Chain A
Amino acid sequence: MSAKQMILTVMVAALGVGAAVGIAACGDEDRGSLEIEGGTTGTTGTGTSTTPVTVDTTATDPEALAKAMSEVSTYAKGQTAELVAATEALQQAVDAGNVAQAKKAYAAGRPYYERIEPLVALFPELDGKIDAREDDFPKKAEDLTWTGFHPIEYALWKQGKIDARTKKNAAGLVVDSKRLDELMQDAEIPPNVVIPGTAELVDEVEESKITGEEERYSKLDLPTFLANLEGARAFYGALEPLVESKDELLEEQIDAAFDKAFDEVNGLKQNGSFPAYDELSEDQQRTIKQNIEALAEPLARVQGTLGVKS
């Protein structure tokens, strides 16, 4: 078995299909198609269909992929433009010394960043400036090199005050957001960043529980999760027709998983707004996790299905 076939087999095994699955390389090997008899769709399985499913893992037409990437780029630029406006509003409230207003502006601004966070990896120094957590700094919260959203969050929620450092950070956040917006205008958005990035956005949600990276002072975890999911769906939306043409079942599975995850998170709203994350019951937290995982698993197969190299 060639290495390529082995990988394909492993991938197919990851579909989570039941015992009655036959895997056969079909047609000419270079096409890289696999026929799965009786393929079902794992977590959102639809039973015991016996229709052969064809998974085409040849590289996707570069033009179609480029078009999808340009859609992602347009979406990202929309978000960074909004981010600039939102951080300016935050700076105004901070400069005015208005803690309550600043908290609102902070909450309003976060989603624009969270929706496109994986693309900021294209400009690594900016992610560190805008979204770093205190754990990454030797002196933790006291560290003056800690900048971006989170020292402001710390000042507003934990300390309940605005001082010179907060003002400096708010001004710096505007500068960095503008720089991000500027860089995004001409950035080439490569598929091998967008596709894993889609999965990363989804992973962020379960990630936070392990690392304590949640919005630990503002407790705005749920709006952040929602923004992560919205970003992921926007990225995936651009790729969806391509995925559908390669593997219809996968497309259906992801689509259903997105719907379910959105329903679940939105369903937590009370009178139109989200409760603090730590007010959720353990059951509610686990339900979010279940839905996130059910989405993350099929999303992890998109890159291979589209034949996009890492």
Chain B
Amino acid sequence: VNVSRRRFFQGTAAGGAAVAAGAIGVPALARGDDGGDDEQLVAWQGPRQAGIVTPRTAYGMVASFDVVSDDLPALFGDLTARIAELTQGWPDRLDDIDDPNLPPSDTGELGFDKRNEGRLTITLGLGASLFDGRFDLRGHRPPALIQMPSFPGDNLDSARCHGDLLLLVQSDHMMVTHHALRDIMRRTKGRLEGRWAQPCFQRFEADGGSTQRRAGVADARGLLGFKDGSQNIAPTRDELIFTGAEVEPWARGGSYLALRLIRLKLERWDRLSRTAQEDSIGREKVSGAPIGGREEAEKPTLDKRTPVDAHIRMANPRKPGDERRRFLRRPFVFNNGFDSYGLIDSGSVFMAFCRDLQHQFQAVKERTHGQDLDEYMVAFGGGYFFCPPGASGRGDYVARRLVEG
């Protein structure tokens, strides 16, 4: 049994009294146990994995791995256990510290005091390649999970695409986010092989980071300087976000993720006149109102003042049937310094959670082809993933019913 797994179960036993009713495996230092700030811990267990519809955070890390172990039950069990520990306060961080002859169990960059800040969540996603026959899962691939295609205009780098397993780590501190990734990597050596990772960030305008959305109002801006996600769906729209009876029982209550790493040509964009920028998006830059409208939250009328190739028109022409194509966006932005040419290497980490990749994300992506905005962006990485339902009940872990067969 792996170290983290052992601690996980010890923690459960020792901390049993402090565990919230009905939740298993919440380690001893879980929420509220000494009057700490409950809002800083996000419940990790339940029918949905955390990190999909929970409030957005200021930092993220998307990291893709290839699975190099045959023992998937142990891998997913250990991952879930460690996710529970990391997101609920790292109860074992002092273990082994006193023994000078052992490597410290916690790497230490977050200090050794009790921790409950950062709203850390870690979401697991499965890539189509996990179902390719290496693990005897071939018959169980969720039907919409395919390898992300290269769309017109993409310049995909195979070293930054796809993967068997995705970790979506989110928190309000880059150090917390990075620590979680580092911790999981060192505990899965020989079992997970890092493929690519992209750190990312975001700034919330409305309420300093708690990101409670108002309908029709984006809580953040993208690097183009426009409100990003004004007409995003509410995170309560389960019928558009989570799978149901159309998938195998193990996969019900999961969500497909279209993840696209998109480089933005910011130098060019920044030289466009404000009108040209607004025409490209279809919204006013400052207010976020649709062109010709009064306020951000109003429904775009898409009259002739909005160009035919404006983003908001092509993404959602608001015709019959378009409603069921919508999906939940959870965007971040990134910067990777300069490129080899000396241009700023920044862009979007586009994330769309949906119930069906082809009928929602892919249908919308295909119909936006030719939008003016395409001139200023190019996707270079990412992939399609399936985030299984959350773990709940004693002894459960994410994807258990898949990998135990």
Contact = CB atoms under 8 A, between A and B. Distances in A.
Interface residues of B, number: 22
Contacts of B339: 209-210
A209 B268 CA distance: 13
A138 B152 CA distance: 6
Contacts, number: 59
Interface in B331-373: 339-343
A64 B152 CA distance: 41
B275 A207 contact: no
A293 B341 CA distance: 12
B368 to A, nearest CB: 14
A138 B365 CA distance: 13
A196 B279 CA distance: 14
B343 A310 contact: no
A211 interface: yes
A309 B342 contact: no
Interface stretch (A16-24, A152-160, A174-182, A283-291): A283-291
Contacts of A136: 152-153
Contacts of B341: 206, 209-210, 285-286, 289
Contacts of B158: none
A56 interface: no
Given A210-B343, A286-B342, A7 B274 contact: yes
A123 interface: no
Interface residues of A, number: 29
A140 B156 CA distance: 13
B155 A300 contact: no
B276 A209 contact: no
B271 A199 contact: yes
Contacts of A207: 265, 268
Nearest to A134: B152
A296 B153 CA distance: 24
Given A135-B154, A211-B155, A310 B275 contact: yes
B263 interface: yes
A232 B267 CA distance: 18
B271 A304 contact: no
Interface string A176-217: 000000000000000000001001000100110111100000
Interface of B: 150, 152-155, 263, 265, 267-268, 271-276, 279, 339-343, 378
